[in-house]
Amino acid sequence: MEQSVIQQKIFGIRDEKVMLDFDLALLYGVETKRLNEQVKRNQARFPSDFMFQLSQQEWAMIQQQPGFFFPLHRSHFATGAIKNRNKQYLPYAFTEHGITMLASVLRSEKAVEANIHIVRAFIALRHLAMQYKELAEKLAKLENSNNRQFREIYEALN
């Protein structure tokens, strides 16, 4: 799968970059219900900093983001109507570490391959964030030096 497609499925929630259970299930080639069953069977591997359930507000916020796509092929039992979802069926969000842990729970070759692509997408996003930070710092330095030069010119004119 292409990195840009995976990166579109990464959301920022609670100061974490996460992917939702149904997007991961689609990438791993399993039903969302089965993915969540495996996670529940292995709860000790998924502490709260690896995985958490979204609140109603977080779920509503994600649905409003541009490019959000909700797959229609999901199990009716696990989803219900999107707008009227039962609170206990709100999506689970997995951090990068939780996604890595999923590879040990879902052992199929497709899951391992998908996991490699997902980790690479997270790494690419991290590199972009670092480049953005460096660029912002360079712009701030340039702005400061330009402000100093304009101040000197203004003083000379006065």
Q: In the chain, where are the structural domains located? A: 3-127
The DSSP output letter for 105 is H
Residue-wise pLDDT for 79-120, tens only, equals 444 454 455 678 999 988 888 888 777 777 777 677 777 777
pLDDT computed for residue 93 by the predictor: 92
Question: What is the residue-averaged pLDDT of the chain?
Answer: 76
Sorting pLDDT into bands at 50, 70 and 90, what band is 69?
Answer: low
Residue-wise pLDDT for 29-50, tens only, equals 888 888 899 899 999 989 999 9
Sorting pLDDT into bands at 50, 70 and 90, what band is 73?
Answer: very low
Burial 112-135 (b: 16+ CB within 10 A, else e): eebbeebeebbeebeeeeeeeeee
Which residue is listed with tokens 């229609």?
72
Higher pLDDT, 100 or 130: 100
